[in-house]
Structure 1
Amino acid sequence: YRSDGFWRKIEFYREQPDINFKHNLILMLQLRDSVPAFKFWSTYPNLNTAFRSDQLSLPYITNREIDTNGDGKYDELNIDLNVAIDPKDQVIGAQLILFFDYRLHSKIYLQMESITHMKYESPTTGRGLRVIGNLKLNQKEPLDFSNLFLPLFIVYRSDGFWRKIEFYREQPDINFKHNLILMLQLRDSVPAFKFWSTYPNLNTAFRSDQLSLPYITNREIDTNGDGKYDELNIDLNVAIDPKDQVIGAQLILFFDYRLHSKIYLQMESITHMKYESPTTGRGLRVIGNLKLNQKEPLVYRKHHIGLNENIIGSQEFFIEDMLESYIRRNCESLLIIIKT
């Protein structure tokens, strides 16, 4: 019968939430060497009254919620904010808070006001910022299920009893493909960056003074001897001019990612690391965990090889476009930074 598990205390299930933008937001722009030092605006009048008129700047806002699969629930929010600021003002940071109505209806009945918080700071000034991301529910404690069932069946090993969605845990087989893209951001230099990749067609798009070949060493480690790599240690040393001041770094690593147990999945995946600092530096150390982010369930015992395509194509290449296309996939790997 429909028993949602056999005497379980904690159960996991998957449901697409019903999320609606409440058309409420808080925006703050950070300015360099300006009085006032910021521009603020919100859809809450009581907040705006706490600031002087020269600290407020009303943005022109357009937004569009999109139901991509026609199931009656919004899957995407596209929002544009245009702020009129004085030409002499130099924007070096932005902070945006969006407010949503978040609901679950299936096994758990949940309704709450939720937010997304985006904060960006840069050592250099800019006239625009583009952010692409996924909204994810973070839950610290289980929510109570409304009913208790006492099934009178012995369920044999059948990977669940008439289940539609099941979660399981598997260590993936991940191998570094020895492909990468590296970009160093320089302060007050010509050129303003140093670039290099293992893809010759990308390197040819840059001038010789924009390229800098790094010395690379890497080692994959199987810590528990199960035949799968658990760690990747990679060192990149870039020879740059002593007068160059490095204020940022961007690194993309490419991996072969496979699952073999209940789901057969093979795909090319990436990790994207981006770091910017107001002060110059001669080195950067990053420690993190690689995590699979999955938007929709994968079919049991089916071979999912459609994702096993080269992320870098032969078309004209831009890092931002590549990353946007990548996060739209059903499965992607993310680097969860532990320490920088």
Structure 2
Amino acid sequence: MGFITVWTRSPVVSYRSTLCSKGTIFIGLCSLLTFVPPLLIAYRSHGFWLKVDAYREQPDIHFKHNVMVIVDTNHPDNYLIWSTFPSLNAMVRENVRAPIVSSFEDDVNRDGKNDDLHFDLEFPLLDGEHVHGIKLLLGFDFKLYTMVRLHMDCLAYVASSSAIPSGKLTVLGDLKFHQREPLKHRGRNDLYNQDIIIADSLEPEDYDIGAILGRYAARNLTTHLDNQYFIWSPNGASSSAFLLRLHLKYPEQTIMYTPGVWQVLKMAWVQYLAILVVFAMIIAKVKEYVFTNQLVPTWNELSNVPKKYL
């Protein structure tokens, strides 16, 4: 019957020296060169302490049915307006015209989160009225759950104009999340979970689109219409109504956040360990060369105890 070697063990040679000797000093210096330079290299190469990280998440978005729309006609002093805010409608009663509104949100992939919004708004027109521009504000409820917990109110602003009279405007776009600073990974961020437009306000300034967008843009967290397309269709045989058709998608977003302590330590340890292994191998070869060639005075002891590695 044949035999194979399954394990071998070599005798261990111990190099001994006194506490205060060149050998001890050399070992202390080697230990210092093994552990300290990798730390300095990892730290000075940037990214050692992870300050900002990012991940992908599709937010949970719901249309709140808050609408404000202004339609520009061919008469400079005449415009049409409608909103879901009774106070505003009462202030501009002479310009208010009730449209036919329909909307629905669709969960295409059936994952429990809405993927897009279909919004139609049809304004009846009088004889001689022609539409040349439109401004639209829509209100949404926006939530994040995965690495950060965020709940806020947000807006989508649509504005477009046409030089020729048009009977229909089709708008396509994505509702994108914008942040000026990373979100905190701990706690719940409800700072902006409040109505952007004050529904029962009696002050006209509170319903001015410029003022609303000015306050909204000052926030650190906002949403805006991205990847947008505007298709104006000229008036056909009938110009008794103007149709606004909006198809808005809720895509997956890139969210930036400040990582927690354990994530920071994990990333730092991986970087440090990767450099430490290289230094440990080099210093081990240096020590082997120095002691086997008796470059520092020591005395040897031979034993059969296997060498232990940390």
Distance 1:234 1:148 in 2: 48
Matching residue of 2:89 = 203
Cα distance change, pair 246–4 in 1 and its aligned pair in 2 (3 A): farther
Distance 1:334 1:325 in 2: 14
In structure 2, the residue corresponding to 1:322 is in which secondary structure? Answer: helix
In structure 2, the residue corresponding to 1:282 is in which secondary structure? Answer: strand
In structure 1, the residue corresponding to 2:212 is in which secondary structure? Answer: helix
Distance 2:148 2:213 in 1: 25
Match of 2:158 among 273, 283, 304: 273
Distance 1:339 1:290 in 2: 13
Query: For residue 330 of structure 1, what is the amino acid of its counterpart?
Result: N
Query: For residue 166 of structure 2, what is the amino acid of its counterpart?
Result: G
Superposed displacement of residue 251, structure 1? 0.8
Cα distance change, pair 274–247 in 1 and its aligned pair in 2 (3 A): same
Superimposed CA distance per residue, residues 131-180 of structure 1 (whole angstroms, 9 cap, x where no aligned partner) = xxxxxxxxxxxxxxxx699xxxxxxxxxxx84221111111000000110
Cα distance change, pair 4–257 in 1 and its aligned pair in 2 (3 A): farther
**Residues 144-293 of structure 1 mapped to structure 2, 5 A cutoff:** 162-188=49-75, 191-208=77-94, 210-293=95-178
Q: Which runs of 5+ in 2 are unaligned?
A: 1-38, 231-310
Distance 1:177 1:3 in 2: 52
Matching residue of 2:211 = 321
1:330 aligns with 2:220: yes
Cα distance change, pair 280–171 in 1 and its aligned pair in 2 (3 A): same
Aligned length: 187
Higher RCO, 1 or 2 (CA under 8 Å, sep at least 6)? 2
In structure 2, the residue corresponding to 1:272 is in which secondary structure? Answer: strand
Superposed displacement of residue 223, structure 1? 0.8
Distance 1:2 1:321 in 2: 52
The structure carrying a bigger helix percent of its residues is: 2
Query: For residue 223 of structure 2, what is the amino acid of its counterpart?
Result: S
**Residues 70-81 of structure 1 mapped to structure 2, 5 A cutoff:** none
In structure 1, the residue corresponding to 2:108 is in which secondary structure? Answer: coil
Distance 1:168 1:4 in 2: 24
Distance 1:264 1:205 in 2: 38
Distance 2:183 2:84 in 1: 32
Query: For residue 192 of structure 1, what is the amino acid of its counterpart?
Result: N
Distance 2:123 2:130 in 1: 13
In structure 2, the residue corresponding to 1:321 is in which secondary structure? Answer: helix
Distance 1:2 1:291 in 2: 40
Distance 2:40 2:79 in 1: 60
Matching residue of 1:310 = 195
Cα distance change, pair 260–206 in 1 and its aligned pair in 2 (3 A): same
Distance 2:99 2:41 in 1: 58
* TM-score (normalised: structure 2): 0.57
In structure 1, the residue corresponding to 2:124 is in which secondary structure? Answer: coil
Superposed displacement of residue 337, structure 1? 3.9
Matching residue of 2:236 = none
In structure 1, the residue corresponding to 2:210 is in which secondary structure? Answer: helix
Question: Contact 1:212–1:240 (CA<8 Å) still a contact in 2?
Answer: no
Superposed displacement of residue 2, structure 1? 8.2
Distance 2:42 2:120 in 1: 48
Distance 1:218 1:177 in 2: 11
Distance 2:227 2:50 in 1: 35
Match of 2:179 among 294, 299, 313: 294
Cα distance change, pair 3–236 in 1 and its aligned pair in 2 (3 A): farther
Alignment RMSD = 2.3
Question: Contact 1:286–1:337 (CA<8 Å) still a contact in 2?
Answer: no
Cα distance change, pair 266–188 in 1 and its aligned pair in 2 (3 A): same
